[in-house]
Amino acid sequence: MEHEQSYHYQVMRRAIETIDAADDAITLADLAAQMQMSPAHFQRLFTAWVGVSPKRYQQYLKLDHARTLLRDRFTTLDTAAEVGLSGSGRLHDLFLRWEAMTPGQFAQGGAGLTINWGWFNSPFGRALVMGTDKGICGLGFADDAGDAATMADLTARWPKATLVENAAALAPWVQATFDMSGEARLHMIGAPFQLKVWEALLSIPSGHVTTYSEIASAIGHPKAVRAVGTAVGRNPVGYLIPCHRALRKSGALGGYHWGLPVKRALLAWESARADAVA
């Protein structure tokens, strides 16, 4: 089962990369051929994972998709919690529990912490996942920067922690993360200001977006847009802390620590699934 899941992740990753790199729409037959599958089998696999057909999904990767999201699915963060658009608003049955490290513990650089780590296949590329006994504290996508740089990036955040390669300890949380079933836990390790920004990001529902200035207002620092942008960029847990849902007011994607192709794919995938279950 694990081998089959890994294979499906690799197929979805290659399909997303192929669609994203194409200048024009790709037919189902051509896309299936590139994935070395029959059109019918590829269509079933893609639809089962994404929730919509490959043709429909391609519509979400248009360059103006971010502007469409800002127009139609803009989330005002000060009301999000009131209407249940936080963890419980995520698609399907994913239950996200999170716990934050105290400022004093953060200042110690992870001293006394044991952090397990492992590499996993995901539909958005090769993923490095790190976690304590309380939950995932790091998740980065390596296809853009490479394995060594991604490892150096995450480990540098907690220089005094003890790192142990132990993918098995993380596997249930990782499966819940990408299958959107079961329970995914987070252990958020950051400075107090960063934690406020990341908590605000958690209130943006899947399939919706907000802006950096909206986040700044929501945490009580409306003039700190640049600092918010920096905190968003320093988010150590890609995807689960959804920094990809933060856009510029202009509708531009802005930056993304793990590469803009991943950000575009994440936004398109979430929009497609949100429409499919609406």
Tell which residue, 166, 247, 253, has the closest CA to residue 214.
247
What lies within 8 Å, CB to CB, of 50 at 6+ separation is 12, 57, 269, 272, 273
Of the residues 66, 100, 240, 243, only one is catalytic, namely 243
Has 137 been annotated as catalytic? Answer: no
Q: Give the bridge partners for 132, in sequence order.
A: 135
CA pair distance 13, 11, nearest whole angstrom: 5
CA pair distance 71, 53, nearest whole angstrom: 24
Q: Which residues are catalytic?
A: 243
